[in-house]
Amino acid sequence: ADSDDDDDDDDADNHSPPNDAPVVRRSDRVPTRLEAARAALQDSDSDSDDDAAALEAAAKSKAAEEATAHAKQAEEAAAAAAAAAEEAAAAEAAAAAAAATAAAEEAARQEAEEQARADAERRAEEEEAARRQQEQAAAELARAQQEERERLAAAEAAAAEQARAEAAEAERLRAEAAAQAEADAKAAAAAAEAEQAAAAAAAAAA
């Protein structure tokens, strides 16, 4: 800037005002437009440097704030993800426990059904065995009763036959006794007649 001022001074010296223009001292001279522009540019550069530094500081501060906010958001997101993962793990564990409980209940229900079915089949088999045993006992009783009836009938028939035989024998003996008595009577009568005839003959002979 100083060299520029010197150049301006040289230009001013090389271009001196006309003889009829009043002489103006350097200290009273009004800056030219180029000098004013350069001065304004220097002020602007200084202000720009200050503004740039302020903007850079603000940008760094904002970047730091944003980084802190991003870090906080990332931390919150990580915490939320961890909480979600814990909730998902808890939900998965609860679902697994519920599934295990349901599976255990289903297994217990199936086992109870199988046990009930096995008990029903066993009871049916026992009832069938008892029914067959009762039928067999009834059949044996009926057969025994039939055999007893047949034995009694045979005994009765034998007794009747024996009675008929005894009656026939008694009738034969009675008939023989009657015939013998009749023969004896006839013999006695003949003997009596013979005796009478002999007595009559004896009487006649006397």
- Is residue 25 one of the residues assigned to a domain? no
Q: Which pLDDT score is estimated for 71?
A: 87
Q: Which pLDDT score is estimated for 101?
A: 95
Given a cut of 70, the residues of the chain with pLDDT beneath it are 1-52, 206
CA distance 41 to 181: 199
- Is residue 82 one of the residues assigned to a domain? yes
Q: Which pLDDT score is estimated for 3?
A: 45
- Is residue 106 one of the residues assigned to a domain? yes
Q: Which pLDDT score is estimated for 192?
A: 86
- Is residue 55 one of the residues assigned to a domain? yes
- Is residue 6 one of the residues assigned to a domain? yes
Structurally, the chain folds into a number of domains equal to: 1
Query: pTM for this one?
Result: 0.35
Q: Which pLDDT score is estimated for 53?
A: 74
Q: Which pLDDT score is estimated for 31?
A: 56
- Is residue 159 one of the residues assigned to a domain? no
Q: Which pLDDT score is estimated for 100?
A: 95
Print the domain residue range for 70. Answer: 2-15+31-116
- Is residue 61 one of the residues assigned to a domain? yes
CA distance 91 to 103: 18
- Is residue 142 one of the residues assigned to a domain? no
Record the tokens describing residue 158, joined without a space: 């034998």
